[in-house]
Amino acid sequence: MLKDRLSLADEAARDEEMRTTLSTCPRILDLIARGPLADPDAEAIVYLRSPRDPAPVVISNDHLMGAIKAAETFFRAQGIGHDDAVAILLPACPAAIAAIWGAAACGIAEPLNLLFTREAIIAQLNAVKAKLLLAPPPGMPGGLYEKIEGLQSEVPSLRGIVIAPLDGRIAFDGEVLAPDPAWRDDYGTCTDASESGRIAVMLPTGGTTGHPKVARLSNRAMVASCVSSRMALDYRKGDRAMIPLPLFHVGGLFVGVGASLSAGATNVIGGPAGARDPAFVTDFWKLIESHRVTHSGGVPTTLGALADIPVGDCAISSLRVTAVGAAVCPPEIERRYLATWGGSCVQQVYGMTELAGGIAHDVAGVQPRAEAVGTRNPMVELAILSQGKLQTGPWPSPVGELLTRGPQVFSGYVDPKQTEDAFHEGWLRTGDICRIDADGFISIMGRAKDVIIRGGHNIDPRTIEDAALGFPGVGLAAAVGRPDAYAGEVPMLFVSPQPGVIIDQQALADYVQEKIMEPPARPRTVAIIADMPVTAVGKIFKPKLREIAARAAARELLRTAGLLDEVSVEAITDPSRGLYLRVEAPADKAAEAKRLLQQFPVKVELAE
């Protein structure tokens, strides 16, 4: 029986546990070591070299932690100190996990987005002044090594490229790292309180090439994130957590790996490509059965794909928790996934890179609320900025931008100028327009900032707009998210021509595709409009463009289903409710139309 909400006593106990853990675990390694110290011989990682690997690599807690210690020693020998960055361009595998935590122990680990182009990687390395770069061997799927071959001449700080295998071995430059038993006398025993504030991980977020935005995460922030996820997702000793998200994402690194290892759970890695591998999706329920997985999840697009895979005769009763994050899960995707899985609920995680993970979760044992993303994590403070006033409770709140402060908040960007706009009177601005109900559940109404989230990838619309403005004759350009049943939203580009100019739409589309180096940022649709909607002061009014994009996407979906002749739809932005679709349909088509449109992460209402 699920509770309706956490009691005040529950919240107080969670806050106290967080305070105690933060005081006893100054470093992220001190927290992670808790699970392995309690049972060194238990399995830490089950690594499948492909989703159908008949003989996965199994690594014990003692072996993994010893390898992390050996990786730390390796990096120290290469001259890595507290202020030095080690960039890691590796998919999820044992060597990547050891490298990230080993680098965090002595310096700063920066896991890189595997979809970055060569130019974006160079920009990231220069932004953080990376001293080492880890990459797979040549000839591996994805061509990661080929992206970075010979780039040392373009990154003055880089001392070398270290090769790490994807076959399950924990090795650097061909030498297997012998587990160092000294980990037991170090990790979990630190008493240096200054380590808490040390930057140990940096993660790219937002811009990638011309002006990279890199978030600096302290040990304290990472510990707080992992403890919050361990509590909310109910990781326990002996659990087996599937890790479908990449390690350059806070969901994979902290909500997944860090939180689960600290609880004594086993990480099951279903292949280096994770959920991006079609075989992973096709065989998902078989993997749950064969590896007795208790926890899984991913982004909404992954759940949508899994919902279409029949369980068949797979025994999946071990699966206790499905978490979803990176974007709000559309109700229709959640409904379909639950119908396939048979579980009681999907647990939403809400957060961002700048928070080292989530600041709100649906908590195990508490009934999630429709269209909400859970309640605050321990020691997290929330506020709503509405009409220039900061509301900090009691709740319910007005609709406004969600702000937060607490131990999980990052230590600013690498570029201090980028940090200035991130805070308001000491509170981190999330950029999300939210409402908090009387019980503390947070509902996201929209986004104040214009970032486009495509299947978990954060896209800065300026990347698209700047590219379009380079095309001859373009006067104004604006990119917004267009609702998409698979990716949540995809970029849509609007341009208006300079006076007297006729723009060739296909030529513009081709030009923009060529200029934008990051594939997820390339717009799915390009629209040329005579007059760009603007505010009274001449600023482009993106809410109107989002309405146009949402209506176009909805009409396309209805047309594909053969309903457009009978069903009409309008996209409306309400100041208190955000963007929603208003549908008019005959009585016998209304339910079908609403269910179809609920594939989008946009509210749908039937006209009276």
pLDDT along the chain (608 residues), means of 10: 90 96 97 98 97 96 98 98 97 97 98 90 95 96 93 96 97 97 95 96 73 93 98 97 93 96 98 90 96 93 86 96 85 87 93 94 92 94 93 92 96 92 93 92 80 84 87 90 92 92 95 91 94 72 93 95 94 81 93 93 89
Q: Is residue 439 part of a domain?
A: no
Residue with tokens 């009177």: 425
Q: Is residue 1 part of a domain?
A: no
CATH of the domain at 466: 3.30.300.30
In a shared domain, residues 270 and 380: yes
Q: Is residue 184 part of a domain?
A: yes
In a shared domain, residues 420 and 521: no
Task: Tell me if 533 sits within 8 A of 545, measured CB to CB.
Answer: yes
Q: 113: which 2 tokens?
A: 């987005």
Task: Tell me if 80 sits within 8 A of 131, measured CB to CB.
Answer: yes
Region of residue 363 (left: phi > 0; alpha: psi -120 to 50; beta: else): beta
In a shared domain, residues 160 and 302: yes
- Give the span between the Cα atoms of 340 and 501, in whole angstroms: 53
In a shared domain, residues 237 and 350: yes
> Of the residues 364, 397, 432, which one is the last residue of a structural domain?
432
CATH of the domain at 391: 3.40.50.12780
Q: Is residue 438 part of a domain?
A: no
Q: Is residue 440 part of a domain?
A: no
> Of the residues 478, 497, 532, which one is the last residue of a structural domain?
532
In a shared domain, residues 569 and 483: no
What pLDDT, on the 0 to 100 scale, is given for residue 193? 94
Task: Tell me if 464 sits within 8 A of 474, measured CB to CB.
Answer: no
- Give the span between the Cα atoms of 40 and 221, in whole angstroms: 26
Coil, helix or strand at residue 574: strand
Q: Is residue 537 part of a domain?
A: no
What pLDDT, on the 0 to 100 scale, is given for residue 205? 85
In a shared domain, residues 480 and 372: no
Domain assignment of residue 495, given as a range = 450-532
In a shared domain, residues 426 and 461: no
In a shared domain, residues 550 and 489: no
- Give the span between the Cα atoms of 254 and 276, in whole angstroms: 19
Q: Is residue 477 part of a domain?
A: yes
In a shared domain, residues 297 and 394: yes
- Give the span between the Cα atoms of 380 and 22, in whole angstroms: 13
In a shared domain, residues 168 and 205: yes
Cα 184 from chain centroid (whole Å): 32
Q: How many angstroms separate the Cα of 75 from the Cα of each of 2, 69, 105, 172, 506?
A: 47, 10, 10, 10, 50
**Total of domains in the chain:** 3
In a shared domain, residues 523 and 552: no
What pLDDT, on the 0 to 100 scale, is given for residue 412? 95
Q: Is residue 437 part of a domain?
A: no
Which pTM value belongs to this model? Answer: 0.82
In a shared domain, residues 85 and 219: yes
What pLDDT, on the 0 to 100 scale, is given for residue 6? 93
> Of the residues 402, 432, 462, which one is the last residue of a structural domain?
432
Which of 325, 319, 313 is closest to 444 using CA atoms?
325
